[in-house]
């Protein structure tokens, strides 16, 4: 079963007939079995499903961290499968931001230096990247914590630094893989409220993998995967 578009905005992302197979022959694992999915500009989508359902594989493909075995992935009208490795890397660098469950911060580096890192890779001058990083930290509510190392910050604050690092480049899409998975309930809701605010205020499209229904309740849409297929794709009537 595949899903039709659930957005009334111009499609930013389109997947058509996407499959992903790992291995070959009797050892082949079909992670995705031919999915269609549209994500519109400014959408906030929660991707759910049991372990092995294909949700993380889908996110990896959307983030250009993996490639489909078959089918097409179109981003802003460009077929990603036609891009070479360097072009896909530029797409990731200039259009996508990533937030992971484990924060992935450099332990001996201050919050503002962690946030600056994507701009270093872009070759942005030091003064400019420091100003952008400071604004990104302000956007996630961490003004005054710029010089703190990760071990001087709570888990929720570390995830805020990770979100600031993801948005400092002004991405079109934020890919979040279990962004509240390492947090307690109160901090989890704080992070989700922050993501909702960034979606509303900055217009950043967000695609989030989660297994927690109370976190998915913050999304505008919930896409549910089962056995490598999109079982359902619905507007969230309880969107917070």
User: Considering the entire predicted model, what is its pTM?
Assistant: 0.91
Identify the band that residue 9 occupies on the pLDDT scale cut at 50, 70 and 90: low
Identify the structural domains of the chain with CATH numbers, from first to last: 11-102+170-235 (3.40.50.300)
Mean pLDDT score of the chain, rounded to an integer?
92
pLDDT, tens only, 160-202: 999 999 999 999 999 999 999 999 999 999 999 999 999 999 9
pLDDT at 11: 86
Q: What is the pLDDT of residues 52-110, one digit of tens each?
A: 999 999 999 999 999 999 999 999 999 999 999 999 999 998 999 999 999 999 999 99
Burial profile 208-238: b = 16 or more Cβ within 10 angstroms, e = fewer: bbbeeeebbbbbbbbbbbbebbbeebeebee
Question: Contacts from 58-61 at CB under 8 Å and sequence distance 24+?
Answer: 58/15, 58/18, 58/32, 58/225, 59/175, 59/177, 59/207, 59/209, 61/15, 61/18, 61/20, 61/32
């Amino acid at each position: 079963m595949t899903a039709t578009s659930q957005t009334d905005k111009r499609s930013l992302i389109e997947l058509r007939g996407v499959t992903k197979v790992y291995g070959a022959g009797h050892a082949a694992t079909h992670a995705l079995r031919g999915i269609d999915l549209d994500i519109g500009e400014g959408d906030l989508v929660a991707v759910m499903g049991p372990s092995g359902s294909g949700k993380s594989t889908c996110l990896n493909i959307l983030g250009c961290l993996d490639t489909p075995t078959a089918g097409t992935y179109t981003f802003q009208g460009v077929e990603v499968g036609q891009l070479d490795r360097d072009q896909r890397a530029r797409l990731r660098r200039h259009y996508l931001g990533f937030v992971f469950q484990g924060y992935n911060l450099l332990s001996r580096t201050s919050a503002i230096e962690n946030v600056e890192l994507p701009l270093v890779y872009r070759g942005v001058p030091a003064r400019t990247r420091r100003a952008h990083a400071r604004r990104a930290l302000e956007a996630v509510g961490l003004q005054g914590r710029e010089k703190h190392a990760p071990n001087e910050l709570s888990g929720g604050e570390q995830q805020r630094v990770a979100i600031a690092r993801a948005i400092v480049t002004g991405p079109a899409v934020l890919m979040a893989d279990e962004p509240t998975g390492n947090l307690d309930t109160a901090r989890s809701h704080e992070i989700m409220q922050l993501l909702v605010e960034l979606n509303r205020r900055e217009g950043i499209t967000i695609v989030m993998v989660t297994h927690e229904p109370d976190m998915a309740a913050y999304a505008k849409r919930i896409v549910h995967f089962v056995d490598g297929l999109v079982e359902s794709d619905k507007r969230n009537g309880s969107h917070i």
